Structures are given as C-alpha cells and as structure tokens.
Amino acid sequence: MTLRYPEKPTQDEKEAFASYIYLTSRLYPCGDCATEFQALLQTFPPQTSGRRAASQWLCSVHNEVNIRLGKEVFDCAHLDENYDCGCGDEPGSTTATADPMDLEWDPSKDEKTGVELIKGGR
C-alpha cells in the first residue's frame, strides 16, 4: 500500500493514510496484536510526507514486530526494488492471480478454460 502512496500527497491524502493506519490498529482482529500495534504507533507515528517516508516507516514498524517475534528483518533500504505490489498497472505487466475486485473477473469460472467451477455443498 505504501509503495503506491503518492510521491507528493495532498493534506487530505496524508490525513486519510494516517487515519487508515490508526483505524487498522483499532480494528485488528487479534486483540494482543492490536494492543501492540497501538503501542508502536505511539512510539513511531505514521509518516505521511510522501511515498518513500511512508514505505520506510511501515517497513521499519513491521521490522519492530519481526524483531520482537524473532523473525527475519526486511531490507527497508531496497524495499521498492524487492517488492511487487501486484497492482499490474505498469505497461505490459500482469498480475499473478485474478483480482476479486475486477468487475470483469468471474470467480465462478476457471480462469484458463472458462468452465464453471463446482460449488461445494453444506
């Protein structure tokens, strides 16, 4: 998400991004994770000045969690080179999987053959 954030966001975009992050911390499905995320936001508030700041901020906050959990730390310095958002809006690019928000995509049919998929029963 942050790698698609505007290079020069408007004040409204800055406020919307910060609100999104704070709301996510409140609505996170895991209560312990939500509490931890809210504590991280107090120490490391969202950076909204532009794409690079937002991306570096989110990566570093994610790394704080990884460190606490004993997991591998991401290389935030080269995040934009190593991460593909899968948005598929670059010329000639394609997404690896169908986008369920694409109104032309029919989830009831096989992507390659167009054959109707069998629906499971209850």
17 domain residue, yes or no: yes
- Give the CATH number of the domain where residue 18 resides: 1.20.120.310
| pLDDT value of position 117 | 64
49 domain residue, yes or no: yes
88 domain residue, yes or no: no
103 domain residue, yes or no: no
112 domain residue, yes or no: no
Q: What is the dihedral of CA 92, 50, 83, 69, to 10 degrees?
A: -160
110 domain residue, yes or no: no
Q: pLDDT per position in the chain (122 positions), as tens?
A: 898 899 999 999 999 999 999 999 999 999 999 999 999 999 999 999 999 999 999 999 999 999 999 999 988 888 767 666 666 555 444 444 555 555 555 666 666 676 666 655 54
| pLDDT value of position 18 | 97
Contact 58, 66 (CB under 8 A): no
- Amino acid 92 reads G
* Residue 73 domain boundaries: 2-82
Instruction: Enter the DSSP assignment of 92.
Output: T
> Structural domain tally of the chain?
1
